[in-house]
Amino acid sequence: MTHLKTFATAAALIALPSLAFAQDAAPGFDEIGPYIMTTLLFCMAGFLVFFMAAGFAMLEGGLVRSKNVTMQMTKNIALYSFAAIMYWLIGFNLMYPGAFDEELMAYPDGWIIPGWVGPFFSTTTLDPVGVAAADAALDYASIGSDFFFQLVFVAATASIVSGALAERIKLWPFLFFVIVLTGVMYPISGSWQWGTGWLAQAGFSDFAGSTVVHSVGGWAALAGAIVLGPRLGKYKDGKVNPMPGSNLALATLGTFILWLGWFGFNGGSQLAMGTVGDVSDVSRIFANTNMAAAAGAVTALILTQLVYKKPDLTMVLNGALAGLVSITAEPLAPSLLGALLIGAVGGVIVVFTVPLLDKLKIDDVVGAIPVHLFAGIWGTIAVTFSGSATLGAQITGIVAYGVFTFVGSLVVWFILKAVIGIRVSEEDEINGLDTSELGMEAYPEFSKG
């Protein structure tokens, strides 16, 4: 044993000169540090946004009736999983065609496959500057971290649709829609802004996705709600019949999880953490994001007290989420006061657009359309107050995303309705989707009386 130790020591001493030479030749942290830090930013922010999937599940599970909770859990884990596969199979390369090496017919890292769709169905026109920017993106962080970070945004878009159409839609038609939305529709429209496409070149600005993510989900949900129709008994004899959720504690937990995840959503969208300035910007984004959420919640709390004479918890929860959606288009430029005002308007929007939808007999179970569509539009317009874009460019983007997503979603929903049907039978809806569609209940002990 002693001889082996002596031999190992001698070998180590012999290796020291070459080791020192290798260390001298290796790049220093000043060179590789930005790459490491930005890659970590993408990964850690991506983990937070991934956790938002749990937030959506808990929020929806709390706001639907107990007989439909298992269905919402099933939809949420299935939609995330389908989104992950479809964004790999088609979506990423559709959204970022400039990052694809057409000579190699692959991404430079080689492991994201098949990756062949983009070059043939590219939806953006990249000028030389755009191509250079896309190529440079592969140098400042790993392609794996970038892919993962973009993927979790796609899943969030699909989750928005899930809650709005709860309690009356069949499972598989919904998942077929998710496949189209996450594999084709979202990546195409996303490329217009984040893939250096025509809207980016026209001056449209959406930092983290008030329109690119949230309004897209809202438009898709609105189209689905119109085609699907309201729940049985929701609107009867000219009255709106409340259908309280099963667990407001669960809904509140879901909102806090979404609030937490939003720090990754907005903070990661800084897309760099290699300098002191980048780190400072990320911290400002965190502070503004938090302020907007708080302002949205407080505004909804006060308004419901004034309007309904009692505070409404569901409005307060959605007020916080609307504040978050509102600040997402530009979470860096505003001051804390500016973020407060932007988020507060989001809270106002929720309180007054939820009853507006009821007047139009558009049944949105969780308030996803007011939160993600209406507040998303407001947040996109609010970018102009910081001088980050012109009103004309922002309106152009809002209209472009609205027309493309709403019309495209209507087409897909109508096709699904005609081919396989999208709504459960009246009997199944009355009994609940948990037993009729899945054959299991979330709370079986309570149904046995």
The Cα 54–Cα 49 span in angstroms is 10
Residue 260: C-alpha distances to residues 25, 202, 257, 360 (Å): 42, 33, 5, 33
- 424 pLDDT above the threshold of 90: yes
pLDDT (0 to 100) of residue 266: 98
- Report whether 145 contacts 39 (CB < 8 A): yes
R_g over Cα of the chain: 24
**How open is the CA angle 143-149-154, to the nearest 5 degrees?**
120
- Report whether 411 contacts 45 (CB < 8 A): no
CB burial class (10 A; 0-12, 13-18, 19+) of residue 188?
buried
pLDDT (0 to 100) of residue 144: 83
pLDDT band at 297 (very low <50, low <70, confident <90, very high): very high
pLDDT tens digits along 150-160 = 999 999 999 99
What the block records as the tokens of 357 is: 């939808």
**Residue 355, amino acid:** P
Assign 3-class secondary structure to the chain. CHHHHHHHHHHHHHHHHHHHHHHHHCCCHHHHHHHHHHHHHHHHHHHHHHHHHHHHHHHHHHHCCHHHHHHHHHHHHHHHHHHHHHHHHHHHHHHCHHHCECCCCECCCCCCCCCCHHHHHCCCCCCHHHHHHHHHHHHHCCHHHHHHHHHHHHHHHHHHHHHHCCCCECHHHHHHHHHHHHHHHHHHHHHHHHCCCHHHHCCCCCCCCHHHHHHHHHHHHHHHHHHHCCCCCCEECCEECCCCCCCHHHHHHHHHHHHHHHHHHHHHHHCCCCCHHHHHHHHHHHHHHHHHHHHHHHHHHHHHHHHHCCCCHHHHHHHHHHHHHHHHCCCCCCCHHHHHHHHHHHHHHHHHHHHHHHHCCCCCCCCHHHHHHHHHHHHHHHHHHHCCCCHHHHHHHHHHHHHHHHHHHHHHHHHHHHHCCCECCHHHHHHCHHHHHHCCCCCHHHHCC
Residue 72: C-alpha distances to residues 24, 156, 160, 330, 365 (Å): 57, 14, 12, 31, 12
pLDDT tens digits along 109-132 = 444 444 444 333 333 332 323 333
- 89 pLDDT above the threshold of 50: yes
Residue 135: C-alpha distances to residues 41, 118, 278 (Å): 19, 15, 21
pLDDT band at 446 (very low <50, low <70, confident <90, very high): confident
pLDDT (0 to 100) of residue 121: 37
The mean pLDDT value for 219-244 works out to 96
pLDDT band at 420 (very low <50, low <70, confident <90, very high): very high
pLDDT (0 to 100) of residue 155: 95
pLDDT tens digits along 252-276 = 999 999 999 999 999 999 999 988 9
- 361 pLDDT above the threshold of 60: yes
Nearest alpha-carbon partner for 380 in 410, 364, 402: 402
- 9 pLDDT above the threshold of 80: no
pLDDT (0 to 100) of residue 21: 41
pLDDT (0 to 100) of residue 34: 85
The mean pLDDT value for 103-111 works out to 44
**Residue 419, amino acid:** V
Q: Is the peptide bond before 114 cis (omega within 30 degrees of 0)?
A: yes
pLDDT tens digits along 364-402 = 999 999 999 999 999 999 999 998 899 999 999 999 999
35-233+244-268+284-443 has which fold? Ammonium transporter fold (1.10.3430)
- Report whether 194 contacts 314 (CB < 8 A): no
The mean pLDDT value for 45-66 works out to 98
The Cα 423–Cα 421 span in angstroms is 6
Sign of the four-CA dihedral 300, 305, 308, 310 = positive
pLDDT (0 to 100) of residue 59: 98
- Report whether 208 contacts 402 (CB < 8 A): no
Structure-token match 């390369």, residue found = 93
Output the average pLDDT for the chain: 87
The total of other beta-carbon atoms located within 10 Å of residue 334's CB is 23
The Cα 258–Cα 238 span in angstroms is 35
- 134 pLDDT above the threshold of 50: no
pLDDT band at 101 (very low <50, low <70, confident <90, very high): low
Q: Rounded to the nearest 5°, which phi and psi values hold at 233? A: 80, 0
The Cα 361–Cα 225 span in angstroms is 10
pLDDT (0 to 100) of residue 139: 57
**Residue 202, amino acid:** A
Report the b/e string of 379-404 with b at 16+ CB within 10 A: bbbbbbebebbeeebbebbbebbbeb
pLDDT (0 to 100) of residue 230: 97
pLDDT tens digits along 307-320 = 999 999 999 999 99
pLDDT (0 to 100) of residue 106: 45
pLDDT (0 to 100) of residue 94: 84
What the block records as the tokens of 277 is: 């300035």
What the block records as the tokens of 351 is: 């309180």
Global pTM value: 0.87
Position with higher pLDDT, 107 vs 193: 193
